[in-house]
Amino acid sequence: MRVPGSLSSVSRPETGGCAARPRVGVVSHTPFWLFDHGRELGRRGWDVSLYTATPRRMIDPAVASRIHVKLGWATSSQALRRLARFGLYLPGPWFWAMERRARAELARWAAPRLEGIALVDALSTWGTELGPLVQRSGGRHVCNRGSSHILFQRDLLTEEFARWSCPPPDGFPDWLVERELAEYASADAIAVPSTFVRRTFEARGVPAARVHVTPYGVDLRRFRPHPREDDRFRVLFVGSASVRKGIGYLLDAMRPLVLRRRAELWLVGAVSTEARALLARHADIVTMKGFVPPDQLAATYSQGSVLVLPSIEEGLARVQAQAMACGVPVIATPNTGAEDLFDDGREGFIVPIRDPRALGERLEWMLAHPDARREMGEAARRRVGSLSGWSAYGDAVERLYERLLDGGSRA
């Protein structure tokens, strides 16, 4: 297999008078953000090949110039993840055994289909074999990591689960950690969604020059304000209610407000296994909305006064930008990537992790200052609008790709 390694190495019909760009391979078994990634690159004239385990009927043709689909173990894994939206989970050892087979299967299938790819951008742990294969032919490999450095993530969440007397998280089998670390070491660059994530890599000794922040965008056509049905002060939590997302701290902060009938709390999404007992103890203060279809999310966000996301760790929670696009201010921890989306005190508030008192104080402030809260929501909508959907993300990715392909050196 021959893979060209510079911008001038691959010929392609010119688009709009611009010089042809090389072929890029995107490896993502499931949509996540990389389908939006492919769509934005295609809009800019890049020649994108997608390698995925998502059924073709579920893929927007605009995601890639060429779409390669392998149905198999990774497809089944996706189906199980969708069932988790409704609280149905496969036992951890079985699930992770399936995930391991899925990666091996997808790599074997994709390898002979990488002919002509100048750069492969793979979801982390899915490019362990494919990245070096492209590099040996003169191409480049980007490891696309959506969360913090896996050792930072593992240690922090193990500590957090212990704080809540939960068994250790099962999401860090040795083989998965080994794949992550191998990719961090071999990739030409590591793409991460937030400054918070980059700091976790730097803390683990990864040179800052190799870690590139590419914050996710938001679909402004789908997420926009809808009419408000009432004027209740309503706090929204959107996502899986879990220890990782700090649900216990939100419940502690909300209890006095709900019991005094000053606010109500909506939880939108599934409840993880380890958080079920915790939610059961607070059932009297929560309105469980369950899974809301994507096309109804904007209307749901618009019924909120504020989105609260007290996560202990995640890369860049997209629910923040979605809520902001609907005119809803956000209270979040720095470990959600919030600082890359808004300024503390302007479009929302950034509070420390594990601090229900700080959460409560910010909620009290919003209750006492309704006009300022509404202005925060408007500021949030303007801030997200200034990013032009996925355009700012595309700018960051293009800078990274051009640096790798033009200079031919490790980023």
pLDDT in tens, 245-299: 999 999 999 999 999 999 999 999 999 999 999 999 999 999 999 999 999 999 9
First to last CA, the chain: 24
Torsion of CA 225, 387, 335, 253, to 10 degrees: -20
CA 89 to chain centre: 21
pTM across the whole model? 0.92
Mapped onto helix, strand or coil, the DSSP state of residue 85 is coil
Using the predicted structure, report yes or no on whether residue 49 has a pLDDT greater than 50: yes
Using the predicted structure, report yes or no on whether residue 215 has a pLDDT greater than 90: yes
**Mean per-residue pLDDT for 168-192?**
97
Using the predicted structure, report yes or no on whether residue 93 has a pLDDT greater than 90: no
115-140: pLDDT as tens digits: 999 999 999 999 999 999 999 999 99
Residue 120 CA to residue 47 CA, distance in Å, equals 12
Output the six-digit token pair for 47. Answer: 């020649």
**Mean per-residue pLDDT for 304-324?**
98
**Mean per-residue pLDDT for 78-103?**
82
Q: In terms of pLDDT, which residue wins out, 351 or 389?
A: 351
CA 17 to chain centre: 35
Output the six-digit token pair for 315. Answer: 């890369």
CA 220 to chain centre: 17
Q: Do the Cβ atoms of 400 and 214 come closer than 8 Å?
A: yes
Using the predicted structure, report yes or no on whether residue 375 has a pLDDT greater than 70: yes
Using the predicted structure, report yes or no on whether residue 47 has a pLDDT greater than 80: yes
What does the pLDDT read at residue 410?
Answer: 65
Give 47's strand partners: 23
Write the single-letter amino acid at 77. S
3-state secondary structure 356-410: HHHHHHHHHHHHHCHHHHHHHHHHHHHHHHCCCCCHHHHHHHHHHHHHHHHHCCC
Which domains are present in the chain? 23-216+390-407 (3.40.50.2000), 234-385 (3.40.50.2000)
Q: Do the Cβ atoms of 243 and 159 come closer than 8 Å?
A: no
CA 114 to chain centre: 26
Q: How sure is the predictor about 411, in pLDDT bands with cuts at 50, 70 and 90?
A: low
Q: How sure is the predictor about 50, in pLDDT bands with cuts at 50, 70 and 90?
A: very high
Percent of the chain residues past pLDDT 90, beyond the cut: 88
Residue 71 CA to residue 54 CA, distance in Å, equals 7
Output the six-digit token pair for 161. Answer: 């689960």
Tell me the pairing of strands 264-268 and 119-123: unpaired
What phi and psi values does residue 215 have, to the nearest 5 degrees? -65, 135
Residue 318 CA to residue 2 CA, distance in Å, equals 37
Four-residue CA torsion sign, 122, 126, 131, 134: negative
Write the single-letter amino acid at 104. A
Percent of the chain residues past pLDDT 70, beyond the cut: 92
Mapped onto helix, strand or coil, the DSSP state of residue 192 is strand
Other Cβ atoms less than 10 A from the Cβ of 52: the count is: 31
Residue 153 CA to residue 36 CA, distance in Å, equals 25
